[in-house]
């Protein structure tokens, strides 16, 4: 594997390429990644980079987002089968139908969606900035697609704002039950329980902290406690165990795995970069309209 890592690093330098990796990726991907983080952080890096090639170790909507933000760059997705079950829950026809039921109500689009869906929305958000984005609209009513759990979590934080949600979710997070949290409290009474807002609201309200992937990692960094229950995808727990070996991290369930996120391998990254294959392309009209949605988010969220 060491030779493969060195070869990928050589190709990056030779081709002026960067690798963006989501925190749910297999942990060995970090060895070649230039930036590792959540969707907002990686969007920022795609916006700022001077690289000619962006290799996205993530899933399809993330690579699309990079292409939307950096249309002149060549964006490669090492494994084209790496999709998102949540993003697949809404398509162009469904977002148009949803909007038509509530004419004039602004639409907030979670980044876990395709470019075609983003093109129909007013502003994008991530789990890091969803609260900030909805507040920025200064309205009493918003539509939120596709994650109902994140939308309802935002609604609970904002008194007086009605968040009308589309019926979508992340199955990995949605499957967590209140009993999982109460059982963890009993078993690990001294642990801080850190929960991703893609979980159901009745689950999130039981956490010591609710936040995005980067939020959870930052919480641990700043916290003095030694034991944590992690209620999100296994990749976060893996990285925390690596970075804080003197602390204990308990994954809420052994099956907290996004299978699509785990598809990407070092071999596939090398192949995509060596042969410059699996390039992401978008129709220009779709790219421009979805760019408005993302650009507005990036201007609001500093």
- For residue 39, the model assigns a pLDDT of 86
What's the CA gap between 302 and 78, in Å, rounded? Answer: 30
The pLDDT mean for the chain works out to: 96
What confidence tens digit (pLDDT) does each residue in 245-272 have?
999 999 999 999 999 999 999 999 999 9
Reading phi first (left if > 0) and then psi (alpha if -120 to 50, else beta), residue 299 is in alpha
Residues 121-147, mean pLDDT to the nearest whole number: 97
Q: Are 2-83+261-282 and 173-251 the same fold in CATH?
A: yes
- Give the tokens for residue 133: 């984005």
Question: Residue 145: pLDDT above 90?
Answer: yes
Please state the rounded mean pLDDT for residues 81-87. Answer: 97
Domain-by-domain residue ranges, the chain? 2-83+261-282, 173-251
CATH architecture of 2-83+261-282: 3-Layer(aba) Sandwich (3.40)
Q: What is the CATH number of domain 173-251?
A: 3.40.50.10800
What is the tens place of the pLDDT at every residue in 3-57?
Answer: 999 999 999 999 999 999 999 999 999 999 999 999 888 988 998 999 999 999 9
* Cα 45 from Cα 278, distance rounded (Å): 20
> For residues 294 and 152, what is the distance between their CA atoms, to the nearest angstrom?
21
Q: What percent of the chain has pLDDT over 90?
A: 95
Please enumerate in sequence order all residues whose Cβ is within 8 A of that of 140, keeping only pairs 6 or more positions apart, or say none.
160, 161, 162
> Residue 63 above 90 pLDDT?
yes
* pLDDT tens track for 149-161: 999 999 999 989 9
Which letter does DSSP use for residue 257 in this model? -
Q: What pLDDT digit, counting tens, does each position of 31-46 carry?
A: 999 999 998 889 889 9
Indicate if the pLDDT at residue 143 is higher than 90: yes
Model confidence at 301: pLDDT above 90: no
Give per-residue pLDDT as tens, 96-117.
999 999 999 999 999 999 999 9
Would the pLDDT of 302 be above 70? no
Q: What is the pTM of this model?
A: 0.95
Q: Per-residue pLDDT tens for 207-225?
A: 999 999 999 999 999 999 9
3-state SS of the chain: helix, strand, coil percent to 5? 45, 15, 40
């Amino acid at each position: 594997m060491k030779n493969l890592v060195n070869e990928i690093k050589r190709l990056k330098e030779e081709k002026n390429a960067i690798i963006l990796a989501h925190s749910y990726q297999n942990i060995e991907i970090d060895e070649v990644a230039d930036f590792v983080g959540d969707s907002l952080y990686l969007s920022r890096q795609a916006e700022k980079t001077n690289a000619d090639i962006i290799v996205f170790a993530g899933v399809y909507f993330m690579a699309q987002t990079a292409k939307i933000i950096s249309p002149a760059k060549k964006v490669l997705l090492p494994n084209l089968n790496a999709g998102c079950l949540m993003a697949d829950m809404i398509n162009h026809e469904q977002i148009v139908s949803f909007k038509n039921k509530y004419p004039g109500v602004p639409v907030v689009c979670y980044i876990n969606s395709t470019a075609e869906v983003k093109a129909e929305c007013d502003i994008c958000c991530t789990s890091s900035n969803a609260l900030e984005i909805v507040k920025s609209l200064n309205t009493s009513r918003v539509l939120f697609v596709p994650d109902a759990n994140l939308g309802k979590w935002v609604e609970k934080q904002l008194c007086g704002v009605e968040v009308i949600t589309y019926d979508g979710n992340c199955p990995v997070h949605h499957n967590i039950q209140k009993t999982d949290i109460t059982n963890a409290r009993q078993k690990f009474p001294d642990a801080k329980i850190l929960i991703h807002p893609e979980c159901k609201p009745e689950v999130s309200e039981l956490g010591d902290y609710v936040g995005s992937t980067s939020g959870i990692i930052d919480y641990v960094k700043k916290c003095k406690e030694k034991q944590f229950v992690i209620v999100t995808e296994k990749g976060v727990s893996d990285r925390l165990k690596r970075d804080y070996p003197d602390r204990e991290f308990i994954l809420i369930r052994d099956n907290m795995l996004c299978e699509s996120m785990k598809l990407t391998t070092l071999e596939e990254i090398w192949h995509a970069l060596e042969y410059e294959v699996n390039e992401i392309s978008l129709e220009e009209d779709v790219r421009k309209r979805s760019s408005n949605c993302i650009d507005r988010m990036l201007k609001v969220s500093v």
